[in-house]
Amino acid sequence: MKTFLLSLHSEYYKTRKTLAFWGAIVLPVFLCTVVFIGYYIKADDVMKKLAKVPPIAIWGQYSFAIVGVMGTLLLPMYLVFMTYSVNNIEHKADTWKSLFSLPIPKWKIYYSKALYTVLLITLSMLLFVGLTLAYGYILGWLKPQLTLQNADMAKVTSYLAVIYLKMFLASLGIISIQFLMSLVWKDFLKPMGIGFLLLVTAMIVLKWEYSYLIPFTHPIKALMSSSGKEVEILTKEVWVSFAYAAVFFTAGYFIVIKKSVK
Amino acid sequence: MQELIIQTKNLNFNFAQQKVLNQLSLEVPKGGIYGFLGPNGSGKTTTIKLLLNLLKSDEKNIFLFGKELQENRTEILKKIGSLVEQPAIYPHLTGYENLKTRALLLQVSKSKINKILDIVGLTDAANKKSEKYSLGMKQRLGIGLALLDDPELLILDEPTNGLDPNGIIEIRHLIKDLAANHQKTIFISSHLLAEIERIATHVGIINKGKMLFQGNIHELHSLKTSLICIETNDNEAAQSILKSKYPSLSLNGHLEIPFESLEQMGFINHHLIQNDLIVYSIYKQKKDLESLFLDITNA
């Protein structure tokens, strides 16, 4: 356990000055800030359209401006980018051979890297929740006409937390597939190209009854199935995402154990 | 019998259909510097990658510290520091940070990092980004990374590759110092015989995946043969006169005949003069290691 934690620490130490780490922070900060600025400037216009809407629904509108863009458009490509960035540090420096010649079991190197990637995406999701709430709170204070300050914050927080948790769980399948491709291939075009093709395919077949079997549909489906008062977390696309993650993270282990480092 | 740190028993390895190593039996004794010599593409890096378990071999015939590698991978790798091909360095990190990244994994103390920086002469450049290092500095940092866990065995793959003469001298001094003052066994590969000759105590010569010579440096030196070099006013006539007695005679601007004895030199001189040739010079020349290496690898 200790060497596993040390591997995680080492991953953080070497990525902390790279886009792999900052990517997890930049995206939520950028997106949430843009939406905040938009609502700040257009507060009166927003309220003209939503004059009689309760504060909780205004929160819904405001947070969907972020989560909608994130979940439908950005998240899958963001996952492609993040999984590649973590592995690219080793590809770029040609350090796989030195990592795998250390007296550390190969599975620890593999799983600490995979877990670190998952943790970065967790950090990103947490920042989305935190920044959405913080900016919303500031908006309520700066633009009282938005009535955001009148909502039940406990409800808003739990709703946002559940949605992002569900999106995160629905992303695990994509993470596992993209992580494996990025680990095996040095060339960014391969995981990026295949990831992009899978995403386009997912968009085309989104309404097909078995489309939940395609991992790139999972974040969108997770978001689509989150409307309503009670959000069910473990919907079928989340279960399929778990299954993909189990299969691909295990396959990655066997590939790493058997693979020669050239 | 001397303890063997590395031993391979008839090691074979193929890339697809191509045979890269052919019955290679390495025997690296404890202590000193083993020079693993061979032309580019002869199988040196493949051998090193097999020794580090980076390449997978189905045969269990690689032994380090007396133990079979695949069964005892982690235990064996604890005692090895390695530098394979180019040094594996994160360019966005400083020299110190590169060492610290590795130190975290190996649970090595911070004070050890500073000590290593001192050994490899990078204390002043410790806080400079390694992408700004010269090639020589990168190689030294690579050796520093290999030294971090105080390994008994250092495996260095062509550590002087691409370096200028100053860089080569620096690395040579460092390697000698590590063997003499830090009691490391060093396995170093190179395609440069002159380089190995200067530092190695033992030598293995490999070509096309086969071990052609293995022994200590004195045994290699004893293989050096001498030649008699002769210049006359008509070398071609001299050649036809001596050909029947010395069939291995060759003509390279002057005549070359394998040296046997001083009497033989006297006889040749006398014989040529009797045939009305003028002998400008006749002298004995030791065949250098470079040509010996070429003879061995081209055989």
CATH number, domain of B95, equals: 3.40.50.300
Name the domain boundary from B189, B222, B255. Answer: B222
pLDDT in tens, A122-166: 999 999 999 999 999 998 888 888 788 887 888 889 989 999 999
Find the length of chain B.
299
Instruction: List, in order, residues 6 or more apart from B19 with CB less than 8 Å away.
Output: B12, B13, B209
**Are B8 and B131 in the same domain?**
yes
Strands B27-29 and B279-286: unpaired
- CA–CA distance, B282 with B68 (Å, rounded to integer): 56
Cβ of A93 within 8 Å of Cβ of B88? The answer is yes
Contact call for residues B230 and B282 (beta carbons, < 8 A): yes
B80 touches chain A (CB under 8 A): yes
**Are B210 and B285 in the same domain?**
no
Q: What is the DSSP letter of B162?
A: T
pLDDT of B1 reads: 59
Q: How many domains does chain B contain in total?
A: 2
User: If residue B182 lies in a helix (H) or strand (E), which one and from where to where?
Assistant: none
Name the domain boundary from B206, B222, B238. Answer: B222
Which runs of consecutive H residues, i.e. helices, occur in B62-190? 73-77, 95-106, 110-119, 135-147, 165-181
Which position has the token pair 């971090």? B148
Determine phi and psi for A261, rounding to 5 degrees: -100, 110
Hey, what are B280's tokens?
A: 């400008």
pLDDT of A208 reads: 87
**Are B20 and B167 in the same domain?**
yes
Q: How many domains does chain A contain in total?
A: 1
Residue among B85, B86, B92 whose CB faces A18 most closely: B92
Residue among A9, A100, A101 whose CB faces B104 most closely: A9
Using 50 as the pLDDT threshold, list the residues of chain B that sit under it. none
What is the mean predicted confidence (pLDDT) over A225-249? Answer: 84
Residues of A in contact with B52 (CB under 8 A): 97, 101
pLDDT in tens, A72-97: 778 999 999 999 999 999 998 888 99
- CA–CA distance, A17 with A11 (Å, rounded to integer): 11
Residue among A10, A94, A262 whose CB faces B104 most closely: A10
**Are B181 and B214 in the same domain?**
yes
**Are B45 and B71 in the same domain?**
yes
Closest CA to B297 of B159, B191, B219: B191
Cβ of A262 within 8 Å of Cβ of B55? The answer is yes
**Are B76 and B194 in the same domain?**
yes
**Are B234 and B115 in the same domain?**
no
B93 touches chain A (CB under 8 A): yes
Which position has the token pair 């990831």? A195
pLDDT of B290 reads: 65
**Are B259 and B212 in the same domain?**
no
Bridge partners (DSSP) listed for residue B68: B63
**Are B189 and B240 in the same domain?**
no
Domain limits at B259? 226-298
Q: How far is B252 from chain A (nearest CA, A)?
A: 44
Q: For residue A229, name the pLDDT band (cuts at 50, 70, 90).
A: low
- CA–CA distance, A146 with A127 (Å, rounded to integer): 23
**Are B252 and B217 in the same domain?**
no
pLDDT in tens, A249-258: 999 999 988 8
The helix/strand count (H/E) of chain B reads as 11, 16
Residues of A in contact with B105 (CB under 8 A): 3, 6-7, 10, 102, 104
Burial class (CB in 10 A: 0-12, 13-18, 19+), B97: buried
| Interface residue ranges in chain A relative to chain B, Cβ cutoff 8 Å | 3, 6-7, 9-10, 13-14, 17-18, 89, 92-95, 97-105, 258-262
CA max distance for chain B: 80
**Are B12 and B51 in the same domain?**
yes
Bridge partners (DSSP) listed for residue B250: B256
pLDDT of A220 reads: 86
Q: Which of A13, A99, A101 to mutate to test the interface with B (most CBs of B within 10 A)?
A: A101
Q: What is the DSSP letter of B48?
A: H
Domain limits at A225? 2-258
**Are B132 and B279 in the same domain?**
no
